[in-house]
Amino acid sequence: MTSPIAKVRRERGSSVYAMLRDMAIAYQFKPGERLSEIELAERLGVSRTPVREALTRLVTEGFLQTATRGYMRRPLEVQETLDLYEARVAIERECLRLALERATDAQLQEARAYLEESRAVADSTPVQQLVELDEGFHLRIADMAGNSELRRMLVSLNERIRFIRWIDMENVGRDSTQHEHQEILQALTARDAALSERLLSGHIALRRDQIVDAIARGLARIYLPQEQAPATPAP
């Protein structure tokens, strides 16, 4: 039986990890910036132990890397981002393949309702929430697949590319995304494997030039004060 003290420590550790992970996702830690356990512990008002455990976990998950004296945020690199997108395509295609076999009518109906609710969201909604809505649709396909490990891997990949997704969503806009989601769901409902796979792959893949552009915009966002950062062109 878990003791009350152990439970409190575990909950505190999970909270510290979640806060540091969110900071890493948003690149509040600049690429190459050394992270100090002591400074982070003071900033979060906790001891060094949960901070150290969280930083070690974030290294394992690909957000940070070890440095000579501690940890640092991994850089935004074109090839690594391409690799992550390729991995996402592979995982989502497998989720789709299984969903074509296993999706229930109730799950398909719930996905349709989710898309309807998503369309009602105002265009002025912060881009972070728009990307979260987009991820929600894809996670529903993963749920239809009925494979918890594939879903877990997809969640992890989404977290690692989320910053680039924010930048890309600002550039592309959500109208095309909403339309593509509708087409994918229609093909999935019709159990059309070839069409649904083609639509899904085209929807989530990014070309190298698109990734290079998104990274350039992202680096400007990270390193330049907001008022000096280049404006994002309207879609």
Q: Tell me, what CATH number does 215's domain have?
A: 1.20.120.530
Burial class (CB in 10 A: 0-12, 13-18, 19+), 204: middle
56 and 144 share one domain: no
> Which residue, of 45, 73, 101, is where some domain finishes?
73
**pLDDT value at 10 more than 60:** no
Instruction: Look up residue 136 and give its amino acid.
Output: G
147 and 207 share one domain: yes
**Ramachandran class of 68: left when φ > 0, alpha when ψ lies in -120 to 50, beta otherwise:** alpha
| Number of folded domains that form the chain | 2
**pLDDT value at 184 more than 90:** yes
29 and 56 share one domain: yes
> Which residue, of 48, 73, 98, is where some domain finishes?
73
204 and 94 share one domain: yes
pTM comes to: 0.83
Give the pLDDT band (50/70/90) at residue 224: confident
Q: How far apart are CA 29 and CA 33, in angstroms?
A: 6
**pLDDT value at 172 more than 80:** no
> Which residue, of 26, 54, 73, is where some domain finishes?
73
pLDDT at res. 13: 63
137 and 40 share one domain: no
pLDDT at res. 233: 39
SS3 per-residue string spanning 139-150: HHHHHHHCCHHH
CB atoms within 10 A of CB 73: 22
Percent of the chain scored above 90 by pLDDT? 75
82 and 111 share one domain: yes
Residue 160 placed within a domain: yes
Q: Tell me, what CATH number does 66's domain have?
A: 1.10.10.10
65 and 113 share one domain: no
Could you read off the pLDDT of 99-150 as tens digits, one per residue?
999 999 999 999 999 999 998 998 789 999 999 999 999 999 999 999 999 9
Residue 233 placed within a domain: no
**pLDDT value at 189 more than 60:** yes
DSSP-derived pairing of the beta strands 34-35 and 64-67: unpaired
83 and 176 share one domain: yes
Of 122, 159, 185, the C-alpha closest to 24 is: 159
Q: How far apart are CA 84 and CA 82, in angstroms?
A: 5
- Domain with 32 in it: 4-73
70-73: strand order across its sheet: 34-35, 70-73, 64-67
First to last CA, the chain: 56
Give the pLDDT band (50/70/90) at residue 228: very low
pLDDT at res. 104: 98
Residue 230 placed within a domain: no
Residue 235 placed within a domain: no
Q: How far apart are CA 93 and CA 181, in angstroms?
A: 14
Q: At which residue do the structure tokens 């996670």 appear? A: 139
99 and 214 share one domain: yes
**Between 12 and 115, where is the model more confident?**
115
**pLDDT value at 234 more than 70:** no
Give the pLDDT band (50/70/90) at residue 231: very low
